[in-house]
């Protein structure tokens, strides 16, 4: 039986994500000023801030008293409490800033560190992914399942790279390794969408490190509820706070882990 609290959280996340997506659709073609964050590659626009402000305000109205951890403004409320919203107003800001439609709004509720409701909306593509714990996963309100691809050599994988990839803390060696071992590898630039594409069956697996909780939480839940497997990068239980994950259709999960053991685990 699905917990009514989880269902209510999903309804709130859906409502707020739709409003945020509508705001971002209005921004397309009028991105405005773009500035760098910590590195020249890590961008932020005025719409990241405006969208996050809308999300935080609406969550406070619809789910009062629940803490929020958001990408641009950090923590709001008691982050040590049981319930925390994780918010990424624009996952894939570099794509968004260049007019590439691969970006998303990601909102998840975690209870005691476990994702229980999550929504990932891609406004420019018309994709709306959602899940609550024990309730399955959907895309545009239709049930979705992971792929049935059973062999790594027939699989298509995705990954990403940290913004400060000039340092030694990157996964270039793993990327090259999987380019040789898997059927194909892709890099889309938005972790939440990578995860949702695994859930939808468009991708068979995904791995990445050095991420933030708001990048992972909603998408990881959606993969799990679509019948997939999500773990930490070395196979340990998933936690968004660790900032790394392997997500797969389940059938190739052990092969991904085995290949990472061969080439070496990317820096976390």
Residue 164 has pLDDT above 80, yes or no: no
Identify the domain boundary among 81, 110, 143: 143
How many other C-beta atoms lie within 10 A of the C-beta of residue 211?
19
Q: How far is CA 116 from CA 86, 95, 162, 221, 235, in A?
A: 11, 28, 27, 7, 21
Is this prediction's pTM over 0.85?
yes
133 in the same domain as 163: no
Looking up tokens 């409502």, which residue turns up?
15
Domain extent for 217:
152-263
Last residue in a domain, options 96, 113, 143: 143
Is residue 268 in some structural domain? no
Same domain, 130 and 205: no
Non-local (6+) Cβ contacts of 220 within 8 A are 115, 118, 195, 230, 238, 240, 245, 247
Are 220 and 238 in contact by the 8 Å Cβ rule? The answer is yes
Average pLDDT over residues 122-137: 97
Do 102 and 175 lie in a common domain?
no
Tokens of 139: 């895309």
Band of residue 169 on the pLDDT scale cut at 50, 70, 90: low
Using the 3D structure, point to which of 122, 143, 164 is the last residue of a domain. 143
**What are 39-76's pLDDT values in tens digits?**
545 556 788 899 999 999 999 999 999 999 998 888 89
């Amino acid at each position: 039986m699905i917990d009514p609290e989880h269902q209510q959280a999903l309804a709130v996340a859906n409502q707020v994500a739709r409003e945020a997506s509508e705001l971002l659709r209005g921004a397309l073609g009028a991105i405005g000023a773009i500035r760098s964050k910590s590195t020249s590659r890590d961008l932020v626009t005025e719409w990241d801030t405006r969208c996050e402000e809308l999300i935080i305000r609406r969550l406070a109205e619809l789910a009062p008293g629940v803490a929020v951890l958001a990408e641009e403004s950090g923590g709001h409320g008691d982050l040590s409490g049981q319930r925390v919203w994780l918010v990424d107003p624009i996952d894939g800001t570099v794509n968004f800033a260049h007019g590439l439609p691969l970006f998303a709004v990601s909102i998840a509720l975690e209870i005691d560190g476990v994702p229980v409701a999550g929504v990932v909306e891609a406004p420019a593509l018309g994709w709306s992914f959602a899940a609550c714990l024990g309730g399955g996963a959907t895309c545009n309100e239709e049930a979705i399942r992971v792929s049935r691809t059973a062999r790594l050599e027939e699989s298509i994988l995705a990954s990403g790279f940290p913004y400060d990839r000039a340092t030694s803390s990157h996964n270039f060696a793993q990327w090259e390794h999987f380019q040789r071992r898997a059927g194909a590898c892709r890099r889309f630039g938005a972790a939440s969408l990578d995860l949702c594409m695994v859930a939808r069956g468009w991708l068979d697996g995904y791995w990445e490190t050095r991420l933030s909780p708001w990048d992972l939480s909603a998408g990881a839940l959606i993969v799990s509820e679509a019948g997939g497997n999500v773990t930490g990068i070395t196979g340990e239980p998933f936690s968004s706070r660790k900032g790394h994950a392997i997500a797969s259709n389940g059938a190739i999960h052990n092969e991904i882990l085995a290949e990472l053991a061969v080439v070496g685990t990317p820096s976390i």
